[in-house]
Amino acid sequence: MYNSPLHIDAEGYYGRFGGAYIPEILHRNVEALRQAFEKYSEDADFNAEMDRLLRDYVGRPSPLYRADRLSDYYGTNIYLKREDLNHTGAHKINNAIGSALLAKRMGKTSIIAETGAGQHGVATATVCALLGMDCTVYMGATDVARQQPNVERMKMLGAKVVAVESGNKTLKDATNEAIRHWCCHPDSFYIIGSTVGPHPYPEMVAKFQSVISREMRGQLKEHTGREEPDAVIACVGGGSNAAGAFYHFIDSPGVRLIAAEAAGHGVESGETAATIHCGTEGIIHGARTLVMQTEDGQIVEPYSISAGLDYPGIGPLHAHLAATGREKVVAVSDSQALDAALRLTRMEGIIPALESAHALAVLDMMHFSPEEIVVVNLSGRGDKDLHTYLNAYK
Ligand SMILES: *Cc1c(COP(=O)(O)O)cnc(C)c1O
Is the distance from the beta carbon of residue 244 to the nearest atom of ligand 1 less than 6 Å?
A: no
Distance from residue 107's CA to the centre of ligand 1 (Å):
29
Is the distance from the beta carbon of residue 197 to the nearest atom of ligand 1 less than 6 Å?
A: no
Q: What is the pLDDT of residue 3?
A: 65
- For the segment 275-324, what is each residue's pLDDT rounded down to a tens digit? 999 999 999 999 999 999 999 999 999 999 998 898 999 999 999 999 99
- For the segment 177-206, what is each residue's pLDDT rounded down to a tens digit? 999 999 999 899 999 999 999 999 999 999
Taking each helix axis from N to C end, the angle separating 27-40 and 201-209, rounded to the nearest 10 degrees, works out to: 30
Q: Which of 92, 169, 207, 384 is catalytic?
A: 92
Q: What is the pLDDT of residue 186?
A: 86
Mean pLDDT of 132-151: 94
Q: What is the pLDDT of residue 146?
A: 84
Active site residue 92: yes
Pocket test for ligand 1, best of 91, 360, 386 (most atoms within 8 A of CB): 91
Mean pLDDT of 121-144: 97
Sign for the pseudo-dihedral over CA of 165, 166, 168, 170: negative
The DSSP-derived string for 58-108 is I-PSPPEEE-HHHHHHHTSEEEEEEGGGSTTSBTHHHHHHHHHHHHHHTT-
Q: With 90 as the cut, is the pLDDT of residue 5 above it?
A: no
Q: Which is nearest to 38 in space by CA: 199, 242, 244?
A: 199
Q: What is the pLDDT of residue 345?
A: 98
Using CB atoms within 10 Å of the CB of residue 89, give its burial: 0 to 12 exposed, 13 to 18 middle, 19+ buried. Answer: buried
Cβ proximity of 164 and 94 under 8 Å: no
- pLDDT exceeding 70 applies to what percent of the chain? 99
- For the segment 52-66, what is each residue's pLDDT rounded down to a tens digit? 999 999 999 999 999
Q: Which helix (H) or strand (E) holds 171?
A: helix 171-184
Mean pLDDT (the chain) is 96
Nearest Cα residue to atom 4 of ligand 1: 237
Mean pLDDT of 369-389: 97
Distance from residue 311's CA to the centre of ligand 1 (Å):
11
Q: With 50 as the cut, is the pLDDT of residue 1 above it?
A: no
Ligand 1 atom nearest to CA at 84 = 13
Active site residue 108: no
Ligand 1 atom nearest to CA at 92 = 15
Nearest Cα residue to atom 13 of ligand 1: 380
Nearest Cα residue to atom 2 of ligand 1: 308
Pocket test for ligand 1, best of 170, 332, 355, 377 (most atoms within 8 A of CB): 355
Task: Identify the residue with better confidence: 1 or 201.
Answer: 201
Alpha-carbon distance of 18 to 15, in angstroms, equals 8
Q: What is the pLDDT of residue 6?
A: 87
Distance from residue 301's CA to the centre of ligand 1 (Å):
18
Distance from residue 29's CA to the centre of ligand 1 (Å):
26
CB atoms within 10 A of CB 12: 22
Nearest Cα residue to atom 14 of ligand 1: 308
- For the segment 78-115, what is each residue's pLDDT rounded down to a tens digit? 999 999 999 999 999 999 999 999 999 999 999 999 99
Distance from residue 58's CA to the centre of ligand 1 (Å):
17
Cβ proximity of 274 and 331 under 8 Å: yes
- Give the DSSP letter of residue 56: I
Cβ proximity of 88 and 351 under 8 Å: no
247-270 CB burial, b ≥16 within 10 A, e <16: bbbbebeebbbbbbbbbbeebeee
Is the distance from the beta carbon of residue 119 to the nearest atom of ligand 1 less than 6 Å?
A: yes
The amino acid present at 24, given as its one-letter code, is: E
Rounded to 5 degrees, what are φ and ψ at 185? -130, 65
Instruction: Label residue 34 by pLDDT band (50, 70, 90).
Output: very high
